[in-house]
Amino acid sequence: MLSQAQLDSYKSNGFLVLPDFVSQQSCLQIRQRAEAIVSDFDVSSQASVFSTTQQSHTQDEYFLTSAHAVRCFLESDAIDEAGNLLAHKSLIVNKIGHALHDLDPIFEEFSYQKQLAGILEQLGYGAPAYIQSMYIFKSPGIGGEVVPHCDHSFLWTDPPSVCALWFAVDDANCENGCLWALPQGHLRHPKTRFRLKDADAAQTGTITEVFDDAPYNKSEFVPLEVGRGTLVILNGKLPHFSDHNYSAKPRHAYTLHTIDTKCHYLADNWLQRSDSLRLVNDVVADSATDSNQ
């Protein structure tokens, strides 16, 4: 699937951009499914707001138990102080998470494709597993900022193994909040770790351990402007961010976070999947075998 030059580039820079990896039709299919999920979402029954700048959502049960569910989270600018919606719900959902790949047939078919299994094998994954999935809307004018971070801080394995498979469902550019990545940033130590306060009692909430409080220098980051259908692979230790979408154009994306189950997934990671959901990706393993025949 990947050339030696591409593998070397990923190893050196910590990210790899693969244009036209999925078809326009596939992008449209998961987009329509995500919009249908939002259409069925009863926003009056749950108003959990997702924000990487405020982090208040990280203490509520709706978020902490979403590892084995399909749930919608609102933008931080979605509701006023009185709890009133500031726009139609189709425009104020930040994302859907975090088990789309296992609980929704459309997203499951998209996620468990042979090409991805082959790439994960090339990247050295012995027993790959999708630990979480997210459909991100980044809607026009309201799509929130995602501050610089690395995924390993949130999905910690020993040794580090997480990577993100990020699919552009829309064209993404500097105007509508594309990804920005720090080349070779994966060679640095993580600045934080986000975890449960108590691994035996998730309801006690979360805490962020700070190892280095110096902010990232955004001038060191490069924009990843890509077209619809592009796959961007991000090393889990690679710092990245995206800006607020102030444009009139949407920037939908779908992300699969992958770990190697041969590595130790810590018991105090905030995301703990239900026993009813598989962790080892038998489908990926089977697909990888089939792709070599």
**pLDDT tens-digit profile of 255-268?**
999 999 999 999 99
Per-residue pLDDT for 88 more than 90?
Answer: no
Report the alpha-carbon distance of residue 117 to residue 279 in Å, rounded.
Answer: 15
Residue 119 — very low, low, confident or very high, per pLDDT cuts 50/70/90? very high
Beta bridge partners of residue 192, listed in sequence order: 210
pLDDT in tens, 34-72: 999 999 998 876 656 545 445 444 457 888 889 999 999
Structure tokens at 134: 């997210």
Provide the domain count of the chain. 1
Q: Among 16-25, 40-49, 149-158, 206-215, whose mean pLDDT is lowest?
A: 40-49
Residue 204 is part of a domain; what is its CATH number? 2.60.120.620
Per-residue pLDDT for 110 more than 70?
Answer: yes
Q: 3-state SS of 188-256?
A: CCCCEEEEECCCCCHHHCEEEEECCCCCCCHHHCEEECECCCCEEEEECCCCEEECCECCCCCCCEEEE
Per-residue pLDDT for 237 more than 60?
Answer: yes
Residue 175 — very low, low, confident or very high, per pLDDT cuts 50/70/90? very high
Beta bridge partners of residue 209, listed in sequence order: 193
CA distances in angstroms from 4 to 10, 11, 224, 230, 259, listed in the order given: 10, 10, 21, 19, 22
Radius of gyration of the chain (CA): 18
Task: Please say whether the beta carbons of 161 and 267 come within 8 A.
Answer: no
* pTM of the complete model: 0.91
Eight-class DSSP state of 208: E
Residue with the bigger pLDDT between 141 and 57: it is 141
Domain that holds residue 188: 4-291
The pLDDT assigned to 62 comes to 86
The pLDDT assigned to 57 comes to 45
Mean pLDDT of all residues in 228-232: 98
